[in-house]
Amino acid sequence: NNSNESSVIQPTAMLGMLGGGQLGRFFVIAAHEMGYKVTVLDPDKNSPAGMIADVHLCAAYDDASALKTMAETCVAISTEFENVPAETLATLAKSTIVHPSAHAVAIAQHRIKEKTFFKEAGLPIGPFVAVTNASDLPEDGDMYPAVLKVARFGYDGKGQARVANQAEAKVAFQNFKQEVCVLEKMLTLDLEVSVVLARDVHGNIAAFPTAENSHLNGILDVSIAPARCSEVIKANAQELAKKLAARLNYVGVLGVEFFVVGNQLLINEIAPRPHNSGHYTLDACITNQFEQQVRVITGQALGNPNLHSNAVMVNILGDSWLYSGKQKEPAWDKAYAHGNLKMHLYGKHEPRKSRKMGHFTVIGEDAQAVLNTAKVARSELH
């Protein structure tokens, strides 16, 4: 064995996952298929990943004894959740392999740090202002209408308020209890696209095809791969995502969200983990984003990210159980009647409004037929 080979972690080693949501669950599934074992840390005893992990440490993300157990029993650790305290990653990294780094996660979990990084890296972003005091809110003019976003812990459109002017921005800032925020100019979006990529310790990058995303109430609704925009925009998104990952010295799986405004591409935000808009890779790519995450942290070579089918992914929210005010199981049999539809349910017990309960992906050779089937299947669920 040369030193390169011996630094590779082979099955049946125990890997660690911080966070037990659906992203962690897909990681566990990929790791199991590849011959690895997984310990999941998540305070929820019913967490989707914890339920199927080899070991579930049911404790807080800063629980010293749980972190000690993880450091002692896991040979490599990753995260599915950007709000794991960066200190947790830093602590674990002292005694075991951890990807992504605490540094990268600290940037991704704070909107001001994130935007400052984009700016310093020369990456294109929309106009924004950091808001730590009400007096930072700009006067009426160019910046409005705008979106006020809390700098930390926002997701799925939570912690965001659309504001028409300074007076509304002040009210929204009060409502957010004067937490640190960013104010972003509201852009007129022609399209939203994303790139999920994996970058290994040597700096090799495997990027998945650029996907097109549509949101409903701030939550991802549908992803289409490949995106239906110009080849120039798609290629540009790939280039920017790779540049960003290299500049961050990122190791792991990274999701990069973009706004398309005319022929301009602007970076919206990054996620230091597999991304919902990369779920289509489970069924439509040679290697999926979770297998890639296992490959990166174990030091195995990156897999081929190429698409083998056109794909349309549709999220299934708790709302699908709660239509017309009644709780009723969605019509699964109608979805399963489509032979090109791949169903993924996350095993969450309680279908709350806006909660991501599962998704399905329709795959096939004909992009238009795939889209039509996905639309039909989506409407039939309710």
Nearer to Mg ion, 238 or 268 (CB): 268
Nearer to ligand ADP, 77 or 313 (CB): 313
Single out the residue of 46, 41, 71 nearest to residue 59, CA to CA. 41
Asked if residue 179 lies in contact with residue 131, where contact means CB atoms within 8 angstroms, the answer is no
**Choice from 38, 67, 147, 357 touching ligand ADP (CB under 6 A):** 147
Q: Which residues contact 243 (CB under 8 A, 6 or more apart)?
A: 121, 123
Nearer to ligand ADP, 114 or 283 (CB): 114
CA angle 280, 282, 288 (to 5 degrees): 110
Phi, psi (degrees; rounded to nearest 5) at 207: -100, 135
Rounded Cα gap, residues 49 and 148, in angstroms: 33
Nearer to Mg ion, 74 or 271 (CB): 271
Does residue 318 interact with ligand ADP by CB under 6 A?
A: no
CA dihedral 7, 61, 154, 360 (to 10 degrees): 60
| Interaction mask 66-105, ligand ADP, x per CB under 6 A | ----------------------------------------
Q: How far is the CB of 79 from Mg ion (least distance, A)?
A: 17
Query: Candidates 3-11, 117-125, 150-158, 314-322 — which segment interacts with ligand ADP by CB under 6 A?
Result: 150-158
Per CB under 5 A, contacts with Mg ion among 241-260 are: 257
Q: Helices 86-93 and 64-73 meet at what angle, rounded to 10?
A: 40
CA dihedral 98, 277, 25, 13 (to 10 degrees): -40
Does residue 156 interact with ligand ADP by CB under 6 A?
A: yes
Does residue 130 interact with ligand ADP by CB under 6 A?
A: no
Nearer to ligand ADP, 7 or 217 (CB): 217
Per CB under 6 A, contacts with ligand ADP among 249-308 are: 257, 268-269
Q: What DSSP designation does 319 have?
A: G
Tokens of 91: 């602590």
- Which residues contact ligand ADP (rule: CB under 6 A)? 126, 147, 154-157, 184, 186-187, 189, 192, 215, 218, 257, 268-269
- Which residues contact Mg ion (rule: CB under 5 A)? 257
